[in-house]
């Protein structure tokens, strides 16, 4: 089957979804541009800044489009085939994922740009807020573990002698390019802070320099050759340091450069898919069972592709962050719903990178490596096969770039949550909260060793989808208290919660069996940890559902932002 035809069908579905379904959802929220948004009302020039929607769309898209929509589709294709994967991405994003992001953004705007947890607190009470914060922290820790391990895998490879006695290590090239890229971001931050040059000049200098970092990585590929576990722990050390640095020094310049890397990768994907003439080599369906408690399409497809179709992490970005910059209420449709559709396109490109590879060639290969090689094949359509080493290094570095964006944000959010739960401030509290958030994943990765992400990915995906379901639950309670229609949040919430809890039940059983069958303490610890966290997540979800039912059964008169469907 031709890859271009399949991609065209998915794109048509996404366009139709935005044209018709997003408009229907917008009508339910009665978006009104005459109502001043929090960004306009406060407009402090720092956090609350009214931003034109297309500029904000780019910023929001860069924030949500991380490694999840890349790794998830590749893993799902390996497990279940491309057929179920592409259907879930196309339909899931239109009816669930984009609705979740759009609704999170609107709910935050109507609650004075507050976070998901604060929305839950205002509508369901303090106990629900504490449970939600605890759930989010564990979900973030699992996200960090899974992404850090996958990234470490892209930094490891074998040194080979190529033509002309040129020693090349594919993993070392990616590592060198990624480290150089980070140093470039810091340099950009320092130059911007000290000399304040115009942005166009910085762009002309540092974006080409980023591509130069990729070339340099291919030339010094044997310089940073380290074991997998060493890289995993080093990445966590980076997360600790990076989350303590001022945002102007690393986070902002790296995010700016990372946006260009993302858009270049998307352009390469489009060129490869539609002009490369690639055929699909993966099976449409594997031999995996359809239903079950272990390794089945239902429910595990829906938690394996944890982003690209729907992602609870996006609710954290939409609420309290992007919501502070929405200039007009109608912009929420473009940014929230439209931004998620763009992420589905990222997932489609990621899925395409494995669809063109024969099953025997992709078996056991890490998602980052598959994505990097796939982007390389797409890029050589434009620049020729002689540049494959550069192209492959760019593809893998692009993947690691998206991961680092997520790791930084997740570590910072984890620190904020621990400080909120402990009600502590000050430098010491910041360091301790950051150390715990980064230290727990570092300890886990040090114990599990290479390939540990396979042990944690499904539970990460489950926690991510459950977070989306709980966010939709809080929004549904809010809409119910307003006396408004809520079918469009209730239905996807029920589906996501059913699939995630089904998956969680299977994992509790699987991890318990794994712990009992473990031969050593080192192999037993991750199984026990996973089983314990799975039970905890199940319990927190059940508690939040009970709290929601309690509030709905005994509604209180709306107040504040509940007084209507417009911000007061």
Reported as a single tens digit per residue, the pLDDT across 270-279 is 999 999 999 9
Alpha-carbon Rg of the chain, whole angstroms? 23
- β-bridge partners, 159: 169
Both tokens assigned to 553: 């059964």
- Per-residue pLDDT, 568: 34
d(CA 452, CA 307): 20
- Per-residue pLDDT, 522: 66
Both tokens assigned to 243: 């989350």
* Predicted TM-score of the model (pTM): 0.92
- Per-residue pLDDT, 160: 84
pLDDT of 408 > 90? The answer is no
Chain-centroid distance of CA 363 in Å reads 24
What mean pLDDT, rounded, does the chain reach? 91
Residue 74: exposed, middle, or buried by beta-carbon count in 10 A (0-12, 13-18, 19+)? Answer: buried
Upstream peptide bond of 299 is cis (omega within 30 degrees of 0)? yes
Helix (H), strand (E) at residue 193:
helix 170-195
d(CA 200, CA 534): 48
What percent of the chain shows pLDDT beyond 90?
Answer: 70
164-209 confidence digits (pLDDT tens):
667 899 999 999 999 999 999 999 999 999 999 998 999 999 999 9
- Per-residue pLDDT, 557: 59
Q: End-to-end alpha-carbon separation of the chain, Å?
A: 54
* Residue of 68, 43, 219 whose CA lies nearest to 143: 68
């Amino acid at each position: 089957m031709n890859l271009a035809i399949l991609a065209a069908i998915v794109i048509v579905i996404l366009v139709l979804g935005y044209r018709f379904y997003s408009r229907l959802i917008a009508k339910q929220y009665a978006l009104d541009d005459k109502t001043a948004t929090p960004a306009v009302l406060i407009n402090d020039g720092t956090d609350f800044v009214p931003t034109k929607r297309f500029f904000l769309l780019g910023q929001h898209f860069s924030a949500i489009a991380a490694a999840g929509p890349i790794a998830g589709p590749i893993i799902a294709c390996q497990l279940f085939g491309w057929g179920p994967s592409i259907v879930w991405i196309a339909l899931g994003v239109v009816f669930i994922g984009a609705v979740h992001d759009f609704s999170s953004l609107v709910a935050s705007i109507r609650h004075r740009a507050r976070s998901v947890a604060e929305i839950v607190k205002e509508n369901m009470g303090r106990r629900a807020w504490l449970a939600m914060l605890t759930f989010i922290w564990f979900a973030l820790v699992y996200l960090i573990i899974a992404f850090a391990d996958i990234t470490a895998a892209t930094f490891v490879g074998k040194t080979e002698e190529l033509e002309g006695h040129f020693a090349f290590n594919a993993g070392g090239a990616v590592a060198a390019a990624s480290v150089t890229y980070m140093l470039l971001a810091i340099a950009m931050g320092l130059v911007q802070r000290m000399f304040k040059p115009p942005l166009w000049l910085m762009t002309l200098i540092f974006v080409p320099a980023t591509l130069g970092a990729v070339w340099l990585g291919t030339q010094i590929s044997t310089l940073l050759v380290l074991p997998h576990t060493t890289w995993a722990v080093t990445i966590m050390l980076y997360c600790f340091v990076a989350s303590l640095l001022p945002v102007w020094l690393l986070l902002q310049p790296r995010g700016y450069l990372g946006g260009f890397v993302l858009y270049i990768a998307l352009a390469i994907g489009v060129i490869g898919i539609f002009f490369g003439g690639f055929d699909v080599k993966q099976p449409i369906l594997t031999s995996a069972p359809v239903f079950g408690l272990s390794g089945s399409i239902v429910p595990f497809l829906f938690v394996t592709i944890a982003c690209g179709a729907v992602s609870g992490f996006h609710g954290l970005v939409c609420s309290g962050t992007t919501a502070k910059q929405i200039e007009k209420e109608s912009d929420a449709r473009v940014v929230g719903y439209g931004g998620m559709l763009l992420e589905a396109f990222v997932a489609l490109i990621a899925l395409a990178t494995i669809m063109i590879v024969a099953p025997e060639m992709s078996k056991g290969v890490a998602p980052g490596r598959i994505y990097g090689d796939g982007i390389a094949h797409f890029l050589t359509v434009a620049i020729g096969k002689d540049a494959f080493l550069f192209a492959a290094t760019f593809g893998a570095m692009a993947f690691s770039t998206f991961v680092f964006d997520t790791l930084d944000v997740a570590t910072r959010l984890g620190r904020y949550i621990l400080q909120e739960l402990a009600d502590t401030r000050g430098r010491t509290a910041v360091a301790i909260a950051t150390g715990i958030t980064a230290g727990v994943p570092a300890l886990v990765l040090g114990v599990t060793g290479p390939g540990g992400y396979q042990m944690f990915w499904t539970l990460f995906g489950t926690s991510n989808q459950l977070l989306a379901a709980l966010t939709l639950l809080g929004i549904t309670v809010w809409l119910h208290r307003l006396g408004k229609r809520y079918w469009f949040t209730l239905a996807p919430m029920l589906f996501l919660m059913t699939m995630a809890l089904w998956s969680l039940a299977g994992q509790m059983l699987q991890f318990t069996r794994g712990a009992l069958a473990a031969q050593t303490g080192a192999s037993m610890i991750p199984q026990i940890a996973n089983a314990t966290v799975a039970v905890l997540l199940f319990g927190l979800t059940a508690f939040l559902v009970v709290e929601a039912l309690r509030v709905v059964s005994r509604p209180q008169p709306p107040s504040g932002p509940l007084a209507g469907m417009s911000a007061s």
